[in-house]
Structures are given as C-alpha cells and as structure tokens.
Amino acid sequence: MTKRILIKGAAGRMGTNLIKTVASNPDTTLAYAVVHPEAPQLGQNVPEFAEVKYISDLSQATDFDVAIDFTSPESTLETLAHCQKLGKPLVIGTTGLNAEQKEKIQQASTSIPVVFAANFSVGMNLMFKLVEKAARVMGTYSDIEIIEAHHHNKVDAPSGTALALGEHICKALGRDLDEVAVKERNGLIGPRTKDEIGFSTIRAADVIGEHTVWFADIGERIELSHKVSDRITFARGAVHAALWLSQGPEAKLYDMTNVLGLDKL
C-alpha cells in the first residue's frame, strides 16, 4: 500500500528534495506540504502533485501515515505535538535542538515511534560505525579531531553530524562528550589534553556537507571522510526511514542505525 507522507518545511531546500524523492518512489505519495505562513508558495499546487496545495495550518493535516520534519527546533516541536495527538510516527532531521527540546522528543517517543537522526545519509551512518571501530583500536592513544564544512547560511556550529561523530567516538571509549569536546581554540591555550576531542568548523559558499575525523598518532594517522554533493541523499534516507516507520515498530526513539540495521554488522 502506498504510504501518505506529510512534509513540514516543504518549500525549503530539504523540503523540495523530499517532495522529489516521494514523487519518484512508487511506495510513497504526498499527503500534505506544510510551509511557513509567509511562504510565497502558500495556496499554490505542488508541481509534482497537482492535487496537493501548499498549506500553513498544520491542524488541517490529519490524513497521513508518516510525517517528515526538517525545519527549526520550535517548528519541529509543533509537528511532534501534532503527531503525538494523532498517534502518527515522525521522522525528524532538524538540527540545533537543545537538551530540553531533545528531552521532549524522548518523552513523545514513549507514545509514538520517532526516527531522530543527525544525518540521514546512508554513507554517514556507516561512517558512524566506522569511527566507533577506529576509536576502539586507536582512540586510547591517538589525538582525535573532527573537521566539518558547510554552506555559509548554516546557523549552528559545530554541525549536528560532527557532534554525533563525537558521540559515537565517546560511546566506544566510555567518555562523556560534554567533558572532552573542545569547540574553540584561540590564543595561548597550552598543549592539548590526552582525552580531548577537537572540533573545527568551516562555513563557506555552497558546501552541502563534509566531515573528516582524524585519529592521529606520532608518525601516522587515519582519516575517515564523508562528503555530500547533493541534498537528495538526505531526502532518500529520510523517506527510507518513513517507510520503515510505516511498518509499525513499537513506540520508541530510533535513529538510522536501527533503520539500516547497522548494529547487525
């Protein structure tokens, strides 16, 4: 049965890629395209789905199977409450959420299934597992650095994906990222500490997303890198997650590791 998808932020860069992906997938169709009240597309027909109009009132969107939200933290919490009210599963790709907002997602996932991931690329989620393995081999004695680059309009730093890489490394090493992360270096800071994980941020032009992790020892280093050249890869991963949710998993908080079965590797 074709699954009906609600897309929040449908006029944005990710939203348009999500609509294209839904249109090209025989197992999905667009139920609602929700946009900001001031979006110029409001009231117009969605090009790929002539029977669907862009709307701004989320309360009008009730007949769907799964929702996908790549917007802002505040907007995402609105979608979360709406899905919880209707008992609908939700895919969240929003970044920049604080601890309190993440806790609200955790609480909601006790009543509806939620896939919440820092990155929906299949390749990046594989990289999460690779850095865990590298950390178990080299992490106790090497210097670990995470370098990320994104377009000049990205508002949060380090990126959610860079922080997720740090979390996966800390998971393998039994460390707390909040205690070992170094996100700024300026002036006379002294030598690096043994356990710290450094983050370097680049913001330039139209870079979609690049992440590199160094495990550096005297005389050698391992570099694991992932680069994205088209946002459609994130959209494909998100729609894959939506179809996975539509199979009816129990109410719980999931990530792409669960969706892709990476823990079975």
Element (H, E) at 181: strand 181-182
- Does 93 carry a binding-site annotation? yes
- Does 118 carry a binding-site annotation? yes
Residue 150 annotated to the active site: yes
- Does 21 carry a binding-site annotation? no
Contact 59, 65 (CB under 8 A): no
Residue 154 annotated to the active site: yes
- Does 151 carry a binding-site annotation? yes
Q: Which of 44, 51, 57, 42 is nearest to 23 (CA)?
A: 51
- Positive or negative, the CA dihedral 85, 240, 247, 260 is negative
- Does 28 carry a binding-site annotation? no
Q: In the chain, which ranges are continuous DSSP H helix?
A: 13-24, 73-86, 99-108, 122-138, 160-173, 177-180, 232-245, 256-260
- Does 11 carry a binding-site annotation? yes
Amino acid at 24: S
- Does 9 carry a binding-site annotation? yes
Which of 150, 211, 226, 240 is an active site residue? 150
- Does 95 carry a binding-site annotation? yes
Which of 20, 129, 154, 183 is an active site residue? 154
Instruction: Output the known binding site.
Output: 9-14, 93-95, 117-120, 151, 160-161
Active site residues: 150, 154
Instruction: Output the known binding site for NAD(+).
Output: 9-14, 93-95, 117-120
Instruction: Output the known binding site for (S)-2,3,4,5-tetrahydrodipicolinate.
Output: 151, 160-161
